[in-house]
Structure 1
Amino acid sequence: MREEFVKMSSMEEQVLAEQEALLAECKLYKGEKEPETKEVKTEDEAAVVDGLPVASTVLGAPVSRSDWSTGLLCCFGNGGEHFTSDLQVCVLGTFAPCVLYGSNMERLYPGEEGAFLYHCMMYTCLSLGGSLLVDVNLAPFMSVGSRMDLRRKYNLPSAGGCCFGGTCDQESGVGCATVCDVLTHFLCHNCALCQEGRELRRRTLSPSYQPYMPMAPPVVQSMTPQM
């Protein structure tokens, strides 16, 4: 009987020890006790655990201001790798500005169906109609809006200083930039179209570009004779 009593007391002590260990674990998870060797979380790990974005960019934050690839009067671009494209833009802007404007709109509004034909015809009607009726080219009234859209899309500054001596920076406000765009298109219309064409060709792919997707030939199949 004495031996059995000793065994029971030892079992009770073991159960009590296990219960105390469980209680200590519960206190640890509740935050009542911190472990002695705690791993320090890095900033990225802490951000992931806390549900904060790891990246520094914030959705809706203003995009940094970028500059035009070429100047307003750079008829042949910068003489670099885009020289052939810049020469084509210069020729179209000089002899067929309606075609250049339609091409620019096709790149600026890629999802718009028939953008090239529509804008090319509208430009031609305003240009010829204004020249015949009031002896004024009315096309800049339409094309100046595309320059504003282009600047807003890529956050470009107004580049009209070459025509009327002065540029409108970001701090001057939207009104000053709009005036710069209007004066640029009315005073240097063909140069403005060429500058926009060069910019769009450097930033976008051709609408007729189709990515090449190589296809693997089918596997040769053969029939095995049945035994």
Structure 2
Amino acid sequence: MYSKPEDGSATTAFAMQGQAPLAAWSTGLFDCFDDCGNCFVTWLCPCITFGQIAEIIDRGSSSCGTSGALYALVMLLTECNCIYSCFYRAKMRSQYGLQEKPCPDCLVHFFCEPCALCQEYRELKKRGFVMNIGWHANMERQGHTPAATMPPHMYPGMTR
């Protein structure tokens, strides 16, 4: 049931489904000079940058150290760590409604792994995350208090 809008332009699949169009990345794939420090760290040891990204994307369910170690293990055993990291790019795009540009996620990571990690890192920084403090500290910093750790108040049972 496609209908052309009154202004004569074609509608997209997103507009037809009532969804918002996907947003562009805040920085380009090769804008590494926006954060030279992270670029340097990523070229030397990409597992650090990946671990920081994965902890934020996983919303604290995995730690930076665990994700970074798994990335390093995949890199040492298979030399194809891009397969693992491209899934996080897809997950990040899904969470933040980002476009799959300049090409599919797996190709971006296969041909430009360090640049892809740097772009994801910069995107999260631009969204207000302090990357070196982790998910839980970022939530506290943003004013999201964690659930109370005290048990609920128990009312006394029946009395005579």
Deviation at 1:87, TM superposition (A): 2.2
Give the alignment partner of residue 122 of structure 1, picking from 61, 66, 70: 70
Residues 91 and 65 (structure 1), Cα distance of their counterparts in 2 relative to 1, 3 Å cut: same
Cα distance in 2 for residues equivalent to 1:126 and 1:212: 33
Matches within 5 A, 1:96-115: 96-112=45-61, 114-115=62-63
Of structures 1 and 2, the one with the larger relative CO (CA 8 A, separation 6+) is: 2
The amino acid across from 2:44 in the alignment is F
Unpaired runs of 5+ residues, structure 1, are: 1-59, 78-85, 131-136, 161-166, 168-179, 214-227
Deviation at 1:141, TM superposition (A): 1.1
1:67 match: secondary structure? coil
- Contact in 2 for aligned 1:108/1:200 (Cα 8 Å): no
Cα distance in 1 for residues equivalent to 2:47 and 2:37: 14
Moved more, 202-211 or 102-111: 202-211
Deviation at 1:203, TM superposition (A): 1.1
* Matched pairs, number: 121
Deviation at 1:198, TM superposition (A): 0.6
Matches within 5 A, 1:1-227: 61-77=18-34, 86-112=35-61, 114-130=62-78, 137-160=79-102, 167=103, 180-206=104-130, 207=134, 208-209=137-138, 210-211=140-141
Residues 201 and 188 (structure 1), Cα distance of their counterparts in 2 relative to 1, 3 Å cut: same
Match of 1:19 in 2: none
Deviation at 1:62, TM superposition (A): 1.8
- Contact in 2 for aligned 1:103/1:116 (Cα 8 Å): yes
Cα distance in 2 for residues equivalent to 1:188 and 1:117: 23
Query: Percent sequence identity over matched residues?
Result: 30
Cα distance in 2 for residues equivalent to 1:154 and 1:68: 10
Cα distance in 1 for residues equivalent to 2:70 and 2:142: 34
- Contact in 2 for aligned 1:105/1:116 (Cα 8 Å): yes
Cα distance in 1 for residues equivalent to 2:98 and 2:47: 24
Moved over 2 A (4+): 204-213
The amino acid across from 1:106 in the alignment is E
Deviation at 1:157, TM superposition (A): 1.1
Unpaired runs of 5+ residues, structure 2, are: 1-16, 144-160
Deviation at 1:69, TM superposition (A): 0.7
Cα distance in 1 for residues equivalent to 2:95 and 2:52: 17
2:33 match: secondary structure? coil
